[in-house]
Structure 1
């Protein structure tokens, strides 16, 4: 069972699609026009190609994943399928799971305490929780993308932000997952290739107490709320542009479109909250990434060929997991023959 509390924490700290790789804010006069003109691609598309990480005769092919993606594309998976079929292992992306430490009946009796987990403490409304200018913007965007939903006015700002963002990407013909991870998993199963899930699991000792603490604890998620409003107002065009770049395999475009915006402020709202630190949640993202790095090194040492998935930010960032592998002596080559940063690929 995954409660609203555990699901929310899992989603936000694990590079959630809801706060996935989005563009940085732009000037309203420019981005407003982009929003009006944004059209997601459709039909059969090749995807971004595969990064090559190697040492000696051992190689790992890496697919950079992205969220959101165009909803009406058919991903041409011929290259991916052949690569998976020729591999000894498929490595999933780093992930996080929160597990309540209780038996089935304990989980069943936990359900009543989950009611209202999304709501603000002490019955406060969204209007009371966020700055007046942001609430005024929220009312306009809510009407545009969500409609007359009174219930959401009692939600915490971060949950309201998730709902608004999800509705906005859907309006632009985008989808949060694109089915890429499921497709890769299915192809591994089809060719009888081992699929390794890299998941850091944190066991919650007292789930009832954790839910109670969450429901009564403040969370400074106003910046997350405001940054999400910025994104929906100004950057949906650029989000669509990046989604299209992934679909069409435009690596150069992916490099030049920033991949951070409200996601970091929303993750911080959760991980820096008192209840998260109390649960030991503040460093789980780093632990999951360390687990993936260890799993990748083991796969590269053991297998002649491995297929892996990583969020595109981890592939392209100079501080990402691919860069960390390169710093440890592995050779990295992008689909266009350059390294992850776009420079000619050379051995370190």
Structure 2
């Protein structure tokens, strides 16, 4: 979250959805972080690519003469890159449908005026329960590291010291990648959506929506419940301290279409720890949305199969992790009998496909 969107690079839209039951109210009520101290020396060893870049090639999923071309998305990406979309645009124009990536939405079961009454409840949702400070919530060595990194990337923001560790971690990560010339989205999904609209191709949003029956109760439960997010906090500190160069290298590999480099670099960073902090928390189980990620993935698989069987050609998006992981959604399609081929001619696991 740039303030409240946990989905930005670190996790699913689950927590962001809960905090966004009244739109962006929490972000509007959040104090603006202070700017970094002037004249501070930054260690910017890694350099992000810029200018026009091709991006990665497309994965091919097929059964018979029906094909689905899949674009792998990634976060973060180089901020000053201009994505050359000729191949993507041509593929979309020749497709009958564009399939979005799996996503999650939480919606309050209330009307517009009910949402307005929720605004006061959102204020302070990022704060620790029982008025605890960040220093009290995390191990002393991690807090010492936090103070150093906070000074470097955030500045003298005292309000953040009352935030839950996971929110503080996201804020730090966002500020750090921005300093390294990276952006969390790169506008890839919006570009694909715009191209589908340009060529009058149906865009199918694959979104698992869960209605929050009692949003006031849900917010109260979240605000008063503990969350074991210390691992997420510590792993994020690790990433900011020593892995920003690797994130830059990975972002550059996406921009230049270097699939081998993408395969060689880990994809999950601290995200798994941060996702687990949310989905394994007591409030998630109590409110009944601890398994929404799995449900969203199952919905995407069903939509993908239907699209392939119905359309002569489909264009789809998935995270690069889902394309490269042996447990990812593309591998799961392969296990169901679909033929999967990477842009370099190898299969889903990077093994060269046999020549006919």
Assess, with a 3 A threshold, how the Cα gap between structure 1 residues 278 and 346 changes in structure 2: closer, same or farther: farther
Contact kept? 1:50, 1:62, Cα under 8 Å? yes
2:171 corresponds to 1:172 = no
Unaligned 5+ segments in structure 2 are 17-42
- Superposition RMSD on alpha carbons, in Å? 1.9
Give the secondary-structure state (helix, strand or coil) at the position aligned to 2:315.
strand
Contact kept? 1:331, 1:346, Cα under 8 Å? no
Residue deviations 1:15-34 (CA, integer Å, cap 9, x gap): 999xxxxxxxxxxxxxxxxx
* Equivalent residue, structure 2, for 1:222: 230
2:326 corresponds to 1:312 = no
Contact kept? 2:14, 2:106, Cα under 8 Å? no
Higher relative CO (CA 8 A, sep ≥ 6), structure 1 or 2? 1
2:91 corresponds to 1:83 = yes
Contact kept? 2:169, 2:232, Cα under 8 Å? yes
* Equivalent residue, structure 2, for 1:267: 275
TM-score by length of 1: 0.91
* Equivalent residue, structure 1, for 2:127: 119
Alpha-carbon distance in 1 for matches of 2:221, 2:75: 31
TM-superposed CA distance for 1:8, in Å, is: 4.3
2:197 corresponds to 1:189 = yes
Give the secondary-structure state (helix, strand or coil) at the position aligned to 1:61.
strand
Give the secondary-structure state (helix, strand or coil) at the position aligned to 2:218.
helix
From 147, 151, 155, the counterpart of 1:139: 147
Assess, with a 3 A threshold, how the Cα gap between structure 1 residues 222 and 206 changes in structure 2: closer, same or farther: same
Assess, with a 3 A threshold, how the Cα gap between structure 1 residues 200 and 151 changes in structure 2: closer, same or farther: same
Contact kept? 1:9, 1:270, Cα under 8 Å? no
* Equivalent residue, structure 2, for 1:297: 305
Give the secondary-structure state (helix, strand or coil) at the position aligned to 1:143.
helix
Question: What is the number of equivalent residue pairs in this alignment?
Answer: 327
Residue deviations 1:43-97 (CA, integer Å, cap 9, x gap): 0000001000001100000000000000001000000000000000000000000
Superposition map of 1:64-103 within 5 A: 64-103=72-111
Which 4+ stretches in 1 moved above 4 angstroms? 7-11, 14-17
TM-score by length of 2: 0.89
**Which structure shows the higher helix fraction?**
1
Contact kept? 2:44, 2:180, Cα under 8 Å? no
Alpha-carbon distance in 1 for matches of 2:114, 2:151: 40
TM-superposed CA distance for 1:293, in Å, is: 0.3
From 152, 157, 181, the counterpart of 2:160: 152
Alpha-carbon distance in 2 for matches of 1:129, 1:210: 23
Alpha-carbon distance in 1 for matches of 2:14, 2:121: 27
Alpha-carbon distance in 1 for matches of 2:98, 2:267: 25
* Equivalent residue, structure 1, for 2:34: none
Assess, with a 3 A threshold, how the Cα gap between structure 1 residues 46 and 246 changes in structure 2: closer, same or farther: same
Alpha-carbon distance in 2 for matches of 1:210, 1:171: 35
* Equivalent residue, structure 1, for 2:257: 249
